[in-house]
Chains A and B, each alone.
Chain A
Amino acid sequence: NAGVMQNPRHLVRRRGQEARLRCSPMKGHSHVYWYRQLPEEGLKFMVYLQKENIIDESGMPKERFSAEFPKEGPSILRIQQVVRGDSAAYFCASSQNTQYFGPGTRLTVL
């Protein structure tokens, strides 16, 4: 049973470009969570999704960030018009009860 998959593992973007981060949950898991980890900090909750539904997006910045978890395919975290402050590690977790984390995508904005 493969774990939570995230890709790409590393992503470099210039200011103003778009970043798309993908997360495939563990088999049988229907809940997906996205977290952001700034350098030298803990993880901060961003958004919680179930298939085709956003359940809680209280941790998402109001502008430029969006997330989806379609009926088929991975969950996508999309960041439009990236800025340097978006540079961070973005972790996805999936669960039925306990959350299991993917390896993360490290976004660097030049």
Chain B
Amino acid sequence: GEDVEQSLFLSVREGDSSVINCTYTDSSSTYLYWYKQEPGAGLQLLTYIFSNMDMKQDQRLTVLLNKKDKHLSLRIADTQTGDSAIYFCAESDNNAGNMLTFGGGTRLMVKP
């Protein structure tokens, strides 16, 4: 079945850029997503990218997609302490009911 992999942990200093990486196996992925989860909370959709795009920018967030390598990244510019959370990468396939397949999440810790 489909698989989505992420590194477990990332630590950065406040003001630096954070780059969270994700790889996936489903070659028929239609959309790729980044969600943020704060402790004890639900998932907040941050951004998503259609599979025929290679980049999307939204304020401090930049998503890069390398479809050939099935590699997705989320860059957070000027990282703030409020960005500390778990970030989940997810993919969906329009031809498979649009359910999301999630990675295990990357815990981002931002040090002051």
Contacts and interface: CB of A to CB of B under 8 A. Distances in A.
A44 B102 contact: yes
Interface of A: 6, 31, 33, 35, 41-45, 48, 55-56, 59, 91, 93, 95, 98-104
A99 to B, nearest CB: 6
A95 B43 contact: no
B43 A101 contact: yes
B45 interface: yes
25 contacts: A6-B42, A31-B98, A33-B99, A33-B100, A35-B100, A42-B4, A42-B88, A42-B104, A42-B105, A43-B100, A44-B102, A45-B99, A48-B99, A93-B43, A93-B100, A95-B98, A98-B31, A98-B45, A98-B48, A99-B100, A101-B35, A101-B44, A103-B41, A104-B41, A104-B42
B102 A55 contact: no
Interface residues of B, number: 22
A62 B70 CA distance: 32
Interface of A is mostly: strand
Contacts of A99: 45, 92, 98, 100
A41 B8 CA distance: 10
Question: 10 tightest A-B contacts by CB?
Answer: A42-B102, A103-B42, A101-B43, A45-B99, A42-B104, A43-B102, A56-B97, A101-B42, A104-B42, A48-B97
Contacts of B101: 45
